[in-house]
Amino acid sequence: MIITKNQEEFCYSGFNPDCEGEQLCDLNDAGEERPWRAKRLATELLAMVYDSVDDAKANRLRGCATQLGFAVLDGGKKRLKEANFCRVRLCPMCTWRRSLKVYGQARQIIDTLDDYCFVFATLTIKNVKGEDLSEAIDSLFSAWNRFYRKTRIVRAWRGGMRTLEVTHNVNPASRDYDTYHPHLHILAAVRKSYFRGRDYISQADYTDMWRDAAQLSYTPVVHVEKCKSTTSAALAECCKYAVKDTDYILPDDWDLSIDTVRTLNSALHGRRLVSWFGVFADARKNLKLDDAENGNLVSVDGNDETADVAQEMIYYAWCGGYSQYRRRREF
Ligand SMILES: [Zn+2]
């Protein structure tokens, strides 16, 4: 069924007869409800912020994930097959899908790397003001390029994934209030002999090498730890999307929301937020994984698509008046 423009408008106004269907309930493998509604509501709030920043992006956000099509699997589980994602970088809905995708890809890659252990590293620089954020991210990436080419790193880290995270201090009582903290997370593969071998690098040496690579006049905060398991919190931390939406959608401070979205919108524009190197990049190629940032956001968990052919499809539409996804009537 194709939804016409008029039906979409009805849908926004809450008078769409399609809005009489059952509410969406989509459970993950752990039996928890997937956060479609919460992400859609956050996306609507962000659209209101974008009204003061970029009209075109505001419109794209308003149309994000208004239509969802699921295949119904054996046992009644749903698998997303169709959706209209807006792909605006800060969109809470799309960032959720991207982080699931990055996580799914990282898991698939790690599953092929039986011969390795993993370390989780966080490389930071000092907080910066909004007007300096873009330049700080440039410096961070240049520092990374020097750091991961250092002889000791090349010897110890056989590959890995690198993600950028920017946190925004929104605590008015903090002396760092309204400053930004750009930093890198790296999940690196090391040989199993690394922790007792001569390639081992101490926390102090990592810190010195990062300070040198980033050309800093102060001692930066660097944290490196061994991952106890590859399903660890480290992987989840690495796969979080670049910025939490609660760091820039601040319903109690609309002016700060607008200012923050403007800052992040420009500082993150055109950036590669996730990169893969060494054995991680090789595994990506072998697994024929698509781009985690620009690839499709419908299929995110790496499950074999051919395993669920020819199921019944069911469709849901976002019904703005009810603030719910409701099943569409079939014609
Ligand atoms: Zn979106």
Mutual angle of helices 254-267 and 36-50, in 10-degree steps: 90
129 and 153 share one domain: yes
| Residue 92 located in a structural domain | no
Tell whether 4 and 108 lie within a shared domain. Answer: no
Dihedral class, residue 47 (left if φ above 0, else alpha if ψ from -120 to 50, else beta): alpha
Tell whether 165 and 122 lie within a shared domain.
yes
pLDDT at 238: 75
CB 316 within 8 A of CB 24: yes
Range of the domain at 226: 98-295
- Please report whether residue 74 resides in a domain: yes
Residue 82, in any domain of the structure = yes
pLDDT given at position 14: 44
Rounded Cα distance between 89 and 242, Å, is 9
Sign of dihedral through CA atoms 77, 81, 86, 90? positive
**Number of domains making up the chain:** 2
Give how far Cα 35 sits from Cα of 25, 32, 96, 148, 276, Å: 9, 9, 9, 37, 28
Rounded to the nearest 10°, the torsion over CA 185, 189, 193, 195 is 10
Mean pLDDT over the full length of the chain: 89
Question: Measured in angstroms, how far is the CA atom of residue 232 from the centroid of ligand 1?
Answer: 28
Task: Tell me which residue of 89, 153, 93 sits closest to 123, measured CA to CA.
Answer: 153
- Residue 246 domain flag: yes
Backbone angles phi, psi at 272, to 5 degrees: -90, 110
**Residue 93 lies inside a defined structural domain of this protein:** no
Q: How far is the CA of 205 from the centre of ligand 1 (A)?
A: 41
Distance 257 CA to ligand 1 centre (A): 18
Q: Using the mean position of ligand 1's atoms as its centre, give its distance from the Cα of residue 317 in Å.
A: 15
Q: Percentage of residues in the chain with pLDDT exceeding 90?
A: 73
The tokens describing 17, both together, are 């007869």
pLDDT in tens, 60-88: 999 999 999 999 887 778 899 999 999 99
How far does residue 82's CA lie from ligand 1's centre (Å)? 14
Residues 34 and 75 in one domain: yes
Q: Ligand 1 centre from 263 Cα, in Å? A: 19
**Which residue is it, tokens 């509410």?**
23
* C-beta separation of 145 from 275 below 8 A: no
Distances (CA, A) of 19 to 14, 96, 117, 149, 176: 7, 25, 50, 56, 46
Burial (Cβ within 10 Å: 0-12, 13-18, ≥19) of residue 6: exposed
219 within domain boundaries:
yes
The reply to whether 273 and 326 lie within a common domain is no
10 Å Cβ neighbour count for 296? 12
CA of 79 to the centre of ligand 1 (A): 19
Q: What is the pLDDT of residue 13?
A: 45
Please report where in the chains the tokens 């014609």 appear, as a residue.
331
Give me ligand 1 centre to Cα 324, in Å: 17
Q: 96 C-alpha to center of ligand 1: Å?
A: 9
**pLDDT value for 172:** 94
- 51: CA distance to ligand 1 center in Å? 15
What pTM was computed for the model? Answer: 0.88
Quote the pLDDT of residue 5: 47
Q: Which residues fall within 8 angstroms of residue 160, CB to CB, at 6 or more apart?
A: 186, 187, 188, 189, 276, 277, 278, 280
Q: How far, in Å, from the CA of 47 to the mean position of ligand 1?
A: 10
Query: Domain for residue 228, yes or no?
Result: yes
Contact 185, 163 (CB under 8 A): yes
**CA 236 / ligand 1 centre spacing (Å):** 21
pLDDT of residue 7: 45
For residue 235, count other CB atoms closer than 10 A to its CB.
20
Residues of the chain with pLDDT under 70: 1-18, 230-232, 302-311, 330-331
Query: What CA–CA distance (Å, rounded) separates 57 from 143?
Result: 32
Query: 170 lies in a domain?
Result: yes
